[in-house]
Structure 1
Amino acid sequence: MEYKIKASSISNKDANIQIKKSEIAFGTTSESAEVLPNPAELFLGAFASCMLKNVERFSIMMKFTYLKAEVNVSASRAEKPLKMDNLNYKLTIFSSDDNLNILLLKKNIEKFGTIYNTVKLSCTINGVVLQNKTF
């Protein structure tokens, strides 16, 4: 598989990414720092998106149903060398389905997630997957 996107910016303005029929604005100026996502946050968003896509994929393969899934992701920026590190996640699956095997789901996400596997080559990842039966 191959992937393509297009990104553009205007001097002293912000930028956007065009992906298929979607457009995502992101900040490149200090004026938008509190309003628009920055590149580091988009990176974490890609990581979270990979996890949620795999929840959907594995719900079919593992034959469980769920109402929704939420993931919280945080990371810190290392200074030498400059990079993202210590990525932490908490994935919560809202499901009362007894077929949901949390340990197997976590193992599958960590083994078969494209973005997950790319990130783990350069960043420490720690996380938990939880089931919430009361929603």
Structure 2
Amino acid sequence: MRPPTSYRVHAEVWAGGESTVTAGNQTIPVDSTWAADEPAGTPGPAELLAAAFAACLMKNLERSSALLSFRYEHADIDVRARRQDIPPRFVEIEYELHLVTDEDERRVDLVHRNLRQFGTVYNTLAAVCDVHGSVVIVPTPAYPPAP
């Protein structure tokens, strides 16, 4: 059995809430202000978690595409994360994956099962909150959408 894979990130915060997270060779600004009246315009921890979930789906789509010889031209994912204040935690992650493909519905369902079964971030979040979503098939000639 292989040992677990390790990941490292580095984060910094300055007084007043200006923060960055460095992952890989990318530095991402992060909103860590407290009780701000207006959103700072940079992602906060909740958006970063939702982004990690979306990235997990995208990475697993590529994995499934290679392993299952699944053809697609493009995918986009909308993620909605809901949290509660007391106790503070996420209660629901909902997603809609739009998949531009000429594959039939049975093959799309197979890929969707793979996304749910083999996604590390997906499974971690599903263990602690309700995670659900759908895949919308977009026929290949319909993409890109008309301006």
TM-score normalised by structure 1 residue count: 0.92
Who is 1:58 aligned against?
Answer: 64
Choose which of 90, 101, 105 in structure 2 pairs with 1:95: 101
What residue ranges of structure 1 are gaps of 5+ in the alignment?
none
Equivalent pair of 1:102/1:130 in contact (CA under 8 Å): no
Aligned length: 135
Aligned to 1:79: 85
In structure 2, distance between residues paired with 1:21 and 1:12: 25
Post-superposition shift, 1:109?
A: 0.7
Aligned residue number for residue 28 of structure 1: 32
| Percent of paired sites with the same residue | 29
For the pair shown, the structure with the greater C-alpha radius of gyration is: 2
User: RMSD in angstroms over aligned alpha carbons?
Assistant: 1.8
1:82: Cα distance to partner? 1.0
1:116 corresponds to 2:122? yes
Output one character per residue of 1:78-127: Cα deviation in whole Å (capped at 9) or x when no partner: 23321011211001111224597111111111110000000011110110
Asked whether 1:43 is paired with 2:41, we answer no
Where does structure 1 differ by over 3 angstroms across 4 or more consecutive aligned residues?
97-100
* Amino acid of the structure 2 residue aligned with 1:91: L
Does residue 106 (structure 1) correspond to residue 112 (structure 2)? The answer is yes
